[in-house]
């Protein structure tokens, strides 16, 4: 390994022609990366040796320790707080289409092992070795979401790799969402391959749905709760079920298919609820699924006044703690909605309480559920702890990848 006068690092042994600018870390700042993490924060960089302003945004860099030893390749965004992400440990494989093809094949192998049908999250960013990239597969339609400038620079290679490994009929870039703002990336929807139909079919555990990818939430579907929804079969037969923040009814319609006697789905979006009704009809349970379009907090309050009761209440809301500084306020919102859900439960009923907020730790979620119950003079038994489905693997060194938490609880009178 040499460093020439420009600060470029050349790897002599394996790839004589490859040269990358070196990103030099301060002393000791390589330790977290060596332990498995993939992010470099801008305050960890030795900016005297490698000034961030001298890098081209999005370019590939050799990440080096304070001793000058390059230990991996990554991409850089000098303007972002997370200024670089490690993509390849070692220097043998350049970050290009063939590396992405390899990572995609490894990712695909897992999903094929997990699910009989081609509906799943194919790539979950850092946890699949492709930081900043999400790919959701809906059979022959693949939806991509990029969250970083470095991955945006690899966009064409990603698309080529997907066309090689998956060969979808249609590929969609649904590049929106708040994370892009952190990297000053524009938001856009683009369909570089095929035609995106107004509705795309999703099959989850044999239950049929149709989602509007362009206008729906996130990529159109929440695969992260799929494995958790598989647990409904043991909880809902013969029961009245309330699905709060239902979106297109993944929990609710699956409950009805699993034998619930009656299901009510609550969401503020009329289009989402139209999809609930369509899915219920398509799966032969239209007579047991009802929808309420309203703010969830208002709807639950009203149902309480009307003395409605449910045996199972599912609360799977959008993230209430979007930023760390929103923690106190967001936690209060969770507490209020969980309490409202418990007030609608029949005696010894089941509450499924979830949070997809990165900044809401598992322990805080459980405390919140317990505090809500105690405030109502009830007690909770935790029957199961939930996390995101296996097609969203957790990266053990990156707590942010462990974002979805939930508890299945039985709520007793006191
Ligand atoms: N539980 C769903 C995903 C929920 S996404 C699933 O498993 O697929 C969040 C949903 O909450 C969206 O459909 C959005 O329209 C709805 N929503 C957001 N704020 C709301 C509010 N205050 N009241 C009711 N619905 C709300």
Summarize pLDDT for 355-406 with one digit per residue, the tens.
999 999 999 999 999 999 999 999 999 999 999 999 999 999 999 999 999 9
Predicted local distance difference test score (pLDDT) of residue 182: 87
Predicted local distance difference test score (pLDDT) of residue 19: 87
Atom of ligand 1 nearest to the CA of 248: 8
pLDDT tens sequence across 137-195: 999 999 999 999 999 999 999 999 999 999 999 999 999 988 898 899 999 999 999 99
Predicted local distance difference test score (pLDDT) of residue 9: 66
pLDDT tens sequence across 250-278: 999 999 999 999 999 999 999 999 999 99
Residue 12 has pLDDT above 70, yes or no: no
Which 3-state string (H, E, C) describes the chain? CEECCCCEEECCCCCCCCEEEEEEECCCCCHHHHCCCCEEEHHHECCCCCCHHHCCCCCEEEEECCCCCEEEEEEECCCCCEEEEEEEECCCCCCCHHHHHHHHHHHHHHHHHHCCCCEEEEEEHHHHCCCCEEEEEECCEEEEEECCHHHHHCHHHHHHHHHHHCCCCEEEEEECCHHHHHCCCCCEEEEEECCCCCCEEEEECCEEEEECCCCCCCCCCCHHHHHHHCCHHHHCCCCEEEEECCCCCHHHHHHHHCCCCEEEEEECCHHHHHHHHHHHHHCCCHHHEEEEECCHHHHHHHHHHCCCCEEEEEECCCCCCCCHHHHHHHHHHHHHHHHHHHHCEEEEEEEEEEECCCCCCHHHHHHHHHHHHHHCCCEEEEEEEEECCCCCCCCCCCHHHCCCEEEEEEEECC
37 band by pLDDT with thresholds 50, 70 and 90: very high
Would you call 265 a catalytic residue per the annotation? no
Superfamily of 2-89 according to CATH: PUA domain (2.30.130.10)
Ligand 1 proximity of 247 Cβ (cutoff 6 Å)? yes
CATH says 97-193 is which class? alpha beta
Which of these ranges, 13-17, 180-184, 304-308, has the smallest mean pLDDT? 13-17
Average pLDDT over residues 131-135: 98
Ligand 1 proximity of 318 Cβ (cutoff 6 Å)? yes
Distance in Å, CA 215 to ligand 1 centroid: 14
Ligand 1 proximity of 272 Cβ (cutoff 6 Å)? yes
Residue ranges covered by each domain of the chain: 2-89, 97-193, 202-413
Residue 323 has pLDDT above 80, yes or no: yes
The CATH number of the structural domain formed by 202-413 is 3.40.50.150
* Averaged confidence pLDDT in the chain: 95
Residue 289 has pLDDT above 60, yes or no: yes
Distance in Å, CA 388 to ligand 1 centroid: 17
Predicted local distance difference test score (pLDDT) of residue 277: 98
Q: Closest Cα to atom 16, ligand 1: which residue?
A: 245
HSE-CB at 235 with a 13 A cutoff on CA atoms is 26
Ligand 1 proximity of 245 Cβ (cutoff 6 Å)? yes
Residue 3 has pLDDT above 60, yes or no: no
Q: Closest Cα to atom 3, ligand 1: which residue?
A: 247
């Amino acid at each position: 390994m040499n460093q020439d006068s420009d600060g470029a690092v050349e790897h002599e042994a394996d790839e004589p022609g490859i040269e990358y600018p070196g990103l030099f870390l301060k002393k000791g700042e390589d330790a977290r990366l060596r332990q498995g993490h993939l992010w470099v924060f801008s305050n960890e960089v030795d900016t005297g040796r490698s000034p961030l302003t001298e890098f081209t945004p999005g370019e590939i860099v050799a990440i080096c320790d304070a001793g000058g030893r390059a230990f991996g390749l990554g991409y850089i965004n000098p303007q972002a707080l997370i200024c670089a992400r490690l993509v390849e440990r070692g220097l043998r494989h350049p970050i290009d289409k063939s590396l992405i093809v390899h990572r995609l094949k490894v990712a695909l192998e897992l999903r094929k092992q997990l699910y009989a049908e081609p509906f799943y999250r194919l790539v979950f960013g850092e946890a699949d070795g492709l930081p900043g990239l999400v790919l959701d597969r809906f059979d022959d339609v693949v939806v991509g979401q990029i969250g970083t400038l470095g991955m945006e620079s690899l966009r064409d290679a990603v698309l080529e790799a997907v066309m090689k490994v998956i060969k979808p009929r249609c590929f969609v870039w649904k590049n929106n969402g708040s994370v892009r703002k952190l990297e000053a990336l524009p938001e856009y929807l683009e369909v570089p391959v095929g035609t995106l139909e107004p509705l795309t079919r999703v099959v989850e555990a044999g239950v049929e749905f149709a989602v509007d990818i362009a206008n729906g939430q996130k990529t159109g579907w929440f695969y992260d709760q799929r494995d958790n929804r598989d647990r409904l079969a043991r909880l809902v037969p013969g029961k009245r079920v309330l699905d709060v923040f239902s979106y297109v009814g993944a929990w609710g319609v699956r409950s009805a298919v699993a034998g619930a006697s009656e299901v009510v789905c609550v969401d503020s979006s009329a289009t989402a609820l139209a999809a609930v009704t369509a899915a219920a009809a398509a799966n032969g349970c239209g007579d047991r699924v009802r929808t309420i379009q309203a703010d969830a907090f208002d709807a639950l309050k009203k149902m309480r006044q009307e003395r409605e009761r449910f045996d199972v209440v599912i609360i799977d809301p959008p993230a209430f703690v979007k930023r760390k500084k929103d923690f106190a306020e967001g936690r209060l919102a969770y507490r209020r909605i969980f309490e409202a859900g418990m007030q609608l439960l029949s005696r010894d009923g089941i509450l499924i309480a979830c949070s997809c907020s990165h900044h809401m730790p598992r322990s805080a979620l459980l405390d919140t559920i317990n505090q809500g119950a105690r405030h109502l003079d009830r007690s909770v038994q935790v029957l199961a702890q939930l996390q995101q489905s296996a097609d969203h693997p957790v990266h053990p060194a990156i707590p942010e990848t462990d974002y979805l938490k939930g508890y299945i609880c039985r709520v007793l009178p006191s």
